[in-house]
Amino acid sequence: MIVTVAGCGALGSIFASKLMDAGYKVQAFQRKGATQDALKKGLTIRSGDGSSEREYQFLEVSDDPAFLKPSDLIIVLVKSFSTPEVHPVKELMKEKAVVLTLQNGIGNAETLSAIFGEKRICAGVAHYGAIRLAPGVVQEAGGAFIALGPWVKDHIPMDWVEKILKNSGFQSEYVADPRPWIWKKLAVNSMVNTTAALTGFNNAGLMNSALIMQLMESIGKEAVTAAGRAGVKIEFEDLWKVFLENISKTAANIPSMLQDNRAGRRMEVDTIPGGVLRYAERDEEFPYTRAMYAILKAIDTERGY
């Protein structure tokens, strides 16, 4: 079986390494640049405590499908604003291939459905931490679980994808409808990523600040209201439980938006806090999320994004 990982940043690299550990052949669809150059030489995964490193070699690394092999499974982990750029991967799909998106934000499954066909889309969330130390070098930062399931009811067989993840050492669950999980992850990201990007705190630092915990609670409640308007019912108590479990198991993690902010890269502002704001019915609604969005968007805009 051949697996293509589209987007080998921090989390994509963790997935690639675990799949290779389990014996699967893995190739990377990676845009040109320093990361692609590094991955062609090999991927380095550092343990969470920094005491050991493991080296991995991809089957192939390219942004050109002509240099990649037909795939049984395509895992999409590019930033949400780059989702349309995976279109060339369509050329690699075998007859029964499945496309799995575990990206942040909302709207990714819809975009991928337009590219690959909705019957092939398996969508979900990954509560795993990873820190990009350098191009091609990633450190593990803890993990909680993965939830995934078919995007539409009329779909090709895809429960086997969850078995592959379990075989690769992930704690995973196959669900009938991934939408509640995606909205819970969006809420958690709105709480964690935005506050981390602006404070510079890792997950442990966020937990240790009573003021930030209060702020994240307010942001989470706004996301729950937005989810309800999107037709997805979430109880705040359930969300808070998921949040506490995730942030405690990934205490050492540096949230992705903070990593991007530090590196001067574009942040997922439009699809994380912006995803929640799509469901505001008045300009004065969701004030906590709106404030975070405005500050982060201003930073991105100043950088030319």
Q: Hey, what amino acid is at 299?
A: I
Angle between helix 210-229 and helix 179-199 axes, rounded to 10 deg: 150
First to last CA, the chain: 38
How far apart CA 29 and CA 88 sit, in angstroms, is 9
The pLDDT assigned to 91 comes to 96
Spatial contact of 75 and 18, defined as CB atoms under 8 Å apart: no
Three-state SS annotation for 219-249: HHHHHHHHHHHCCCCCCHHHHHHHHHHHHHH
Residue 72: pLDDT band (50, 70, 90) is: very high
Spatial contact of 295 and 194, defined as CB atoms under 8 Å apart: no
Rg from Cα positions in the chain: 18
Encode pLDDT of 154-205 as tens digits.
999 999 999 999 999 999 999 999 999 999 999 999 999 999 999 999 999 9
188 and 229 co-located in one domain: yes
Residue 142: pLDDT band (50, 70, 90) is: confident
The pLDDT assigned to 144 comes to 75
105 and 89 co-located in one domain: yes
131 and 278 co-located in one domain: no
- Could you say which of 146, 176, 206 is where a domain stops? 176
Encode pLDDT of 58-68 as tens digits.
999 999 999 99
The pLDDT assigned to 192 comes to 97
57 and 110 co-located in one domain: yes
142 and 279 co-located in one domain: no
How far apart CA 212 and CA 258 sit, in angstroms, is 15
152 and 30 co-located in one domain: yes
The pLDDT assigned to 243 comes to 93
The pLDDT assigned to 90 comes to 96
Question: Would you say residue 256 has pLDDT above 90?
Answer: yes
Three-state SS annotation for 44-92: EEECCCCCCEEEECCCCEECCHHHCCCEEEEEECCCHHHHHHHHHHHHH
- Could you say which of 176, 208, 243 is where a domain stops? 176
| Residues of the domain holding 208 | 181-302
Encode pLDDT of 265-288 as tens digits.
999 999 999 999 999 999 999 999
Give me the residue label for tokens 């991007």. Answer: 260
Residue 11: pLDDT band (50, 70, 90) is: very high
Q: Which residues contact 149 (CB under 8 A, 6 or more apart)?
A: 122, 123, 124, 174, 175, 176, 177, 178, 181
Residue 209: pLDDT band (50, 70, 90) is: very high
142 and 211 co-located in one domain: no
CATH of the domain at 249: 1.10.1040.10
Question: Would you say residue 15 has pLDDT above 90?
Answer: yes
82 and 168 co-located in one domain: yes
194 and 263 co-located in one domain: yes
- Evaluated on CA atoms 141, 146, 150, 156, the torsion sign reads positive
- Could you say which of 149, 176, 203 is where a domain stops? 176
What total of structural domains would you count in the chain? 2
Encode pLDDT of 74-125 as tens digits.
999 999 999 999 999 999 999 999 999 999 999 999 999 999 999 999 999 9
150 and 230 co-located in one domain: no
117 and 143 co-located in one domain: yes
The pLDDT assigned to 290 comes to 98
Average pLDDT, the chain: 96
